[in-house]
A and B are shown apart, each in its own frame.
Chain A
Amino acid sequence: MTGRRALLVASAAAAAALAAAVPSLGLPQYYISLLTQTWIFGIAAMSLDLLVGFTGLVSFAQAAFFGTSAYMIAVLATQYHLVAFWPALGIALGTTAALAALFGLLALRGEGVTFIIITLALNEIVWGLAYQWVSVSGGDNGIAGFIRPPVFGLDLSGTAAFYRFTLAALLVCLALLAAIVRSPFGLVLRGVRDRPRRMAALGYAVQAFRYAAFVIAAVFTGVAGVLFAYYNEFVGPVNLSLDTAVQVLIMVILGGVGTLLGPLAGAAVVVFVSNALSNLTQRWELILGAIYVAILLFARDGLVGIGHRVMRVLGAAARGAGPAARPVMSPPPGGRGEP
């Protein structure tokens, strides 16, 4: 096990080093931009995975949190002349956390599907606010006229510099989310996901854990929103539209629910495929929708599951007909039903 762990750490470090070296490889700026987008949406997708994959809550309100922190950056810079990175980040994330604290109180009044519907309605209300409250948000025109501030004295205005900055942010978020998922708190979340009634009987405050996960996921998504505002140096209503919420959810499902790294891969696929397809055809949304439906129908465990299966087949071929491998997503012991 320790050998495997060392291998894992080594390969992760190698992957991170490779990713950090990308701007020096002479790739066109276009691809570096797409990778930057991948890291940003990867943070959003991983934080949604904390909810969907580890807590069992499907939220459509993530775009509201993504967009709120993005708008905060823009409003602070253009209307309050607050451009310094750390104070702006703090205020943006604080506002997002406060909004999530309010939304969580309302949405968690509903169970299951009702929760989903409420988060969707809440997201659309925030979108409507950004769209219609022209004096603050600029309405459909959004807000431009702010630039990336230096961080730790580093100038981020260049594509490569900002790429490395988002990569660093991604790694920090990944490490924090992985730590959360592995902590006792993360274990309780999984218990809440699989056996809410049993967890309640064991004395865990199920709703409080769901609430905490909801707010934590919102803050991480807020980090992605801040980065996206700086990436575009522009914010608009589309940043908090249902389309964005759906796109992030598709990344999570495409990549593999409950795996953290899967949603990151899903983000890469969605960013690259949608850009490649939109160069080829206007109907890329249709194709992306079809891919998404196909994944739902035929590969519920997403890219990670497909990868596992490919590895298993390759492994079995290498070993000859080896022993049957264990299922990719083992069902919780004792079946799905509540005790």
Chain B
Amino acid sequence: MTFYAQNALNGLAYGSLLFMIAAGFTLIFGLMRIVNIAQTAFFLIGAYIGLMLLHAGVPFWIAAALAGAAVMAAGLLIYRVFLHRYHADELTALLLTLGFALMLDDLALAAWGGDPQSVPPPPAFASSVQLGPLVFPAYWLTLIVLSALVAAGLRLLERRTMLGAVIRAGVDDEEMTRGLGINIDRAFYVVFALGAFLAGAGGVLGSPITGAYPGLDGDLLPLAFAVIIIGGIGSLEGAYVGSLIIGLVSTFGKALFPELSYFTIFVPVAAIMALRPQGLLGRKR
């Protein structure tokens, strides 16, 4: 029992981390139909920048915000200069982001070296929480709560704000939205910036769990994609549910079948593809 509860909490924490990547991914794809393969590279760069700031004595949460802002700036630059011309051309956009993922990966290796680095959680959350027979790092619980708050905030943004209305209109019918005189290009920039910020800040928030090492982006990419496939591409709620499912499956996979843990992710992905190819909460296109 303790085993299952402990792993369930670990899985939720890991899933919360994945959501920080998947949220931006699904928002960007939903609105602009750009598959941003560089999303996990943004996460890695964010983690490294955060680590640098932490070493410089910047408090953890501020480091997360600053790293998110730095990654956001880089993402906006890439979007402005290269990507924004390729909305209609999904394939070119995807291949371009792949190129940027490769380059960012190599730049990170050049800038921060090849040694894996561990990141301490913020001091106030470094202790452990005793829940009955369970001992659980306080920071992981914090991350679960934080990620749920981000999910709720994004949902509010999407459902209850003017910007959200523009985004939803753009997802449904970009041409008609433009025809009504709405400046949807601004929404494009905001959504791309938001996605990059979430990934960059998520890199700092997640790094106490994942660490920071070259190849982390490549390790996270299939997980993020599995999340999207399961949740349904373009769906925010789907990204949250999918994140938690993949977090749980991969954590239990590691605990129960250490040799096949990566393979266990295949099970929900295959099941979804066979039964519901548009994903749990995705829309049929």
Q: Which residues of A contact B (CB under 8 A)?
A: 58, 106-107, 109-114, 116-118, 120-125, 127-129, 131-135, 241-243, 246, 249, 253, 282-283, 285-286, 288-290, 292-293, 296-297, 300
Contact = CB atoms under 8 A, between A and B. Distances in A.
14 contacts: A113-B90, A114-B233, A116-B94, A118-B269, A121-B265, A125-B262, A132-B258, A243-B218, A282-B110, A286-B103, A286-B110, A289-B103, A292-B99, A293-B82
Nearest to B267: A125
A289 B99 CA distance: 5
Contact of A293 (B90, B96, B225, B226): B96
Given A114-B277, A125-B222, A132-B262, A253 B95 contact: yes
A292 B100 CA distance: 10
B72 interface: no
A129 B218 contact: no
A249 B95 CA distance: 9
Contacts of A124: 221-222, 225, 262
B226 to A, nearest CB: 5
Contact of A125 (B105, B258, B263): B263
Contacts of B31: none
Contacts of A127: 262
Tell me which of A58, A112, A124 has the highest count of chain B C-beta atoms within 10 A of its own C-beta: A124
Given A129-B260, A129-B263, 16 more contacts: A58-B94, A58-B95, A106-B273, A109-B277, A121-B225, A121-B226, A121-B265, A122-B269, A124-B225, A125-B265, A125-B266, A128-B222, A128-B263, A283-B110, A285-B102, A297-B82
Across the A-B interface, give the 3 residue pairs with the lowest CB-CB distance, nearest first.
Answer: A128-B262, A124-B222, A289-B102
A116 B35 contact: yes
Query: Which DSSP category, helix, strand, loop or mixed, fits chain A's interface?
Result: helix
Nearest to A293: B99
Interface in B92-137: 92, 94-96, 98-100, 102-103, 105-107, 110
A128 B265 CA distance: 10
A129 B262 contact: yes
B182 interface: no
Contacts of A133: 259-260, 263
B270 interface: yes
Contact of A121 (B96, B107, B229, B261): B229
A243 B106 CA distance: 12
Nearest to B228: A117
B77 interface: no
A121 B94 CA distance: 15
Given A116-B35, A292-B99, A58 B91 contact: yes
Contacts of B273: 106-107, 109-110, 118
Contacts of A293: 82, 96, 99-100, 103
A132 B261 contact: yes
A243 B92 CA distance: 19
A135 B258 CA distance: 12
Contacts of A125: 222, 262-263, 265-266, 269
Contact of A117 (B35, B92, B261): B35
Contacts of B285: 111
Contacts of B94: 58, 113, 116
Nearest to B88: A336
Contacts of B29: 113
A116 B229 CA distance: 11
A120 B221 contact: yes
